[in-house]
Structure 1
Amino acid sequence: MKMPAEKRTRRAGGGKRLGVLDTAVEVLSDRGYESTRFADVAAASGTAVSTLQNYFGSREDMLIEALQRSTNQEVEALEALAAAQASPWEQLVALIDRSLGNSEQTQRMLVEFWRSAMRDVELREHSEQVQRGYREPFLRAIQEGCDQGLFHMKHSPEDVVDFLLTFLAGVTIPRVLHQDRPAEKTLRDLLLSQMSVTLGRET
C-alpha cells in the first residue's frame, strides 16, 4: 500500500514570503536544485538568510514549496486561458501556444521540478496532482469537441491528450539544452496540423 508523504510544515510570512518563493524559482532555474542555497535566494530577494530560515526552516523546504507554487500557477494559467476561448479547437490552440511559448526560465523550472520529483516523495505526489491539473483543460476541450460533433477521432480523448502532453514535455529538453530543433513556428504548424488530423477535425 502506498503511504502518503509526510507534509512539510509551512510557516508564516505573508506577501513578502510569496515574493521570496517566486525569487527562489528564478534562482533555482538558473543554478539548479542542488546548487541553490539560502545565500543565493537571500542575495536575489534582498532578504536576510535568518529571515528565510524563519520562513521555511530548511533550504529543501523552501525550494520544494517554491516548485509547488510555480507549478500550481502554471496549471491555473492554463485553466484561465482555456476558459477565455470560444470553441474547443481555439481552446486547444491557445493551450498548445502557451505550452510551446513558455519562457526558457519556466521550462528550466519544469525540468528541475521533474528531476527533483524523482527523488522527493512529496514532490512526486505533487507532480501527479500537477499532471492531472495540467491535463484537464486539454481533455475537456477535446471531449467538448467530440460532444459538439466537431471532432471525429479514432482514438480515445485520454490517449490523444497523453500523446499531446508527451510531445509538449519532450520538446522542452532540446530547448533548455540549446540543441538544434525546428523553429518555433515550424514546430507549432507541424503540431497543429497533426492534431487536426488526429482529432478528425471538421474545417
Structure 2
Amino acid sequence: MPTRRRRAGGERRTAVLDAVADVLATRGYENTRFTDVAAAGGVAISTLQTYFGSREDMIIEAMQVYTDREVAALRAVSDAETDPWRRLVGLVDRSLHNSESTRRILVEFWRSAMRDDELRDHSAEVWARYRAPFLAAVGEGARRGDFTLAHDAEAVTDFLLTALAGLIVSRVQRHSTPTPTDFRVVLLAQLRLMLGLEGLEIERDEER
C-alpha cells in the first residue's frame, strides 16, 4: 500500500501529529487547516508543508498514527491478562472508556475512509488488527473449554465490535445513550450468553 508518511521531523514531527489530532478532534476533517495546527502546535506553516506536503496528507497521517496507537493500546490490554473472560472484559472496558477526543478522531477516520482509497485500505488493516485480540480471546476460551459458544467465534466478535462502534458514533453525535457503565452491564450480559457462561450477574469489581 502506498503511504503518505515521510521521514522529515523526527520527534518534533510526532509532537506535531499530536497537535493535528487535537485540532481534528475539535474542528473535524474539513475544517482542520495548516493555520490551526500551526497555532496549536507552535510550529510554522512552512514547517508543516515540509513535513507533510498537503493539508490532506497531514490529516490522514495523523489519523493513521492515532488509530495505530489505539490498536497498540488494545494489544497491551490483551497481553496483560491470561484469562480469556477477564481479557474480554478488559478489552471492552478499554473501548468503553475512550476519551471524547479519541471517539471524535475515530469517527472522522471512518468518515474519511469512505472517500480516500489509501485510508480505506488502512482502515481495513486497522479493523483487522483491532479485532484480533477480541477474536483471539473468544477462540482461546472456546478451546480451553471455558466458553461454550452459541455462535462461532467470528460472529461473536463481530457482534461485540459492532455494538462498541455503534456506541462511539452515538456518543459523538450526542444522541441519548446509556452511560458506559449501564451499557457495559447489558453488553457483558449478552456476551456471557453467547459464550455459554452461567449467570448474567456482572461483578462491579471486574470493571477497570
1:142-175 Cα deviation digits (max 9, x unpaired): 0110011000012110111011111111011221
Name the aligned partner's letter for residue 119 of structure 2: L
Aligned length: 199
Q: 2:188 aligns with which of 176, 181, 192?
A: 192
User: Is 1:33 aligned with 2:48?
Assistant: no
Structure 1: distance between partners of 2:3 and 2:41: 26
1:180 pairs, out of 176, 180, 187, with: 176
Greater Cα offset, 12-21 or 178-187:
178-187
Give the equivalent residue in structure 2 for 1:51: 47
1:24 equivalent in structure 2? 20
Match of 1:12 among 8, 22, 33: 8
- Aligned counterpart, 2:128: 132
Which string of whole-angstrom CA distances, capped at 9 and with x for unpartnered residues, describes residues 31-55 of structure 1?
A: 0001100000000000000111111
1:186 aligns to what SS in structure 2?
helix
Aligned residue identity for 2:80: A
Q: Which moved more, 1:103-112 or 1:9-18?
A: 9-18
- Aligned match for 1:86, one of 82, 94, 98: 82
Query: In 2, are the aligned partners of 1:78 and 1:95 still within 8 Å (CA)?
Result: yes
| Rounded Cα–Cα distance in structure 1 between residues aligned with 2:5 and 2:71 | 23
Cα contact 1:150–1:202 (8 A) shared by 2:
no
User: 2:19, 2:135 → 1: CA distance?
Assistant: 32
Deviation at 1:16, TM superposition (A): 0.4
Shift, 1:182, TM fit:
1.1
**Percent of pairs with identical residues:** 56
- Given the two structures, how large is their TM-score scaled by the length of structure 1? 0.95
Could you tell me which runs of 5 or more consecutive residues in structure 1 were left unpaired when the two chains were aligned.
none
Partner of 1:151: 147
Per-residue Cα deviation, 1:100-146 (whole angstroms, up to 9, x for no partner): 11011100000000000000000000000000000000000001100
User: Normalised by the size of structure 2, how large is the TM-score?
Assistant: 0.93
Are the equivalent residues in 1 in contact too, given 2:74–2:91 (CA < 8 A)?
Answer: yes
Q: CA deviation at 1:202?
A: 4.9
1: distance between equivalents of 2:198 and 2:138?
Answer: 13
Contact kept? 1:95, 1:138, Cα under 8 Å: yes
Q: Distance in 1 between matches of 2:170 and 2:139?
A: 31
Match of 1:72 among 68, 84, 88: 68
Whether the 8 Å CA contact 1:79–1:137 is kept in 2: the answer is yes
Gaps of 5+ in 2: 200-208
Q: Is the 8 A contact 2:5 2:61 kept in 1?
A: no
Secondary structure of residue in 1 paired with 2:89:
helix
Instruction: Work out whether residues 11 and 54 of structure 1, in 8 Å CA contact, stay in contact via their aligned partners in 2.
Output: no
After superposition, the C-alpha distances for 1:154-199 in whole angstroms (9 at most, x for unaligned) are: 2110111011111111011221122211122111101011100111
Q: C-alpha distance in 2, partners of 1:20/1:36?
A: 13
How far residue 9 of structure 1 moved from its aligned partner, in angstroms, is 5.4
- 1:164 equivalent in alignment to 2:164: no
CA shift at 1:89, angstroms?
0.4
